[in-house]
């Protein structure tokens, strides 16, 4: 099993939105970074654990725990010319972008980025690294266990 941190802007899909969705599950659509896509397509497996993270908001931070609910499959938004995530180079025969479905396990208290930075045990957490902008990052098992302990 692997562990991940996945960022979502709460104005797009918040943890509360996810909690209200059928099956508490959402397709993690719209990723347009090759490294993040490769994480989903090549490394994520059903059952992997996820920290659900609110980004680009007043108080960014971890707000829930989820799990990967499906293997990667082509992101349908790439084929829709009316969608902001449309990619004219993508075709159903040769998709460029993939997503997985993520299912909520439980909401948590907000663990803000400021709080995450305060723990020396998390100094290597990718989201805390200077210049880290990826929406999906792996989490080391020791970091996962530590964060679970502070929730």
The verdict on residue 140 lying in a domain is: no
**138 CB-near residues (< 8 Å, 6+ apart):** 2, 3, 4, 5, 39, 43, 126
CATH number assigned to the domain comprising residue 58? 3.10.590.10
pLDDT value of residue 35:
95
Residues of the domain holding 96: 3-134
Express each pLDDT in 37-51 by its tens digit: 999 999 999 999 999
Measured between alpha carbons, how far apart are the two ends of the chain, in Å?
20
The verdict on residue 151 lying in a domain is: no
The verdict on residue 145 lying in a domain is: no
- What does the mean pLDDT of the chain come to? 96
pLDDT value of residue 132:
81
The verdict on residue 146 lying in a domain is: no
Report which secondary-structure segment, H or E, holds 3: strand 3-8
Domain count, the chain: 1
The verdict on residue 120 lying in a domain is: yes
The verdict on residue 141 lying in a domain is: no
Residue 4 has pLDDT above 90, yes or no: yes
The verdict on residue 142 lying in a domain is: no
Residue 36 has pLDDT above 90, yes or no: yes
> In whole angstroms, what is the distance from residue 130 CA to residue 109 CA?
25
The verdict on residue 149 lying in a domain is: no
pTM for the predicted model, two decimal places: 0.94
């Amino acid at each position: 099993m692997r562990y991940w941190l996945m960022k979502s802007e709460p104005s797009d899909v918040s943890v509360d939105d996810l909690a209200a969705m059928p099956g508490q599950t959402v397709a993690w659509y719209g990723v347009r970074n090759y490294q993040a896509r490769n994480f989903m397509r090549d490394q994520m497996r059903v059952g992997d654990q996820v920290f659900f993270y609110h980004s680009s908001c007043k108080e960014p931070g971890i707000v829930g725990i989820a799990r990967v609910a499906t293997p990667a499959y082509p992101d349908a938004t790439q084929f829709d010319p009316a969608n902001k995530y449309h990619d004219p180079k993508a075709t159903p025969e040769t998709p460029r972008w993939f997503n997985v479905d993520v299912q909520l396990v439980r909401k948590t208290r907000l663990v803000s980025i400021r709080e995450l930075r305060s723990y020396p045990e998390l100094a290597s957490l990718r989201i805390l690294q200077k210049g880290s902008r990826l929406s999906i990052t792996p989490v080391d098992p020791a970091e996962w266990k530590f964060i679970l302990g502070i929730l």
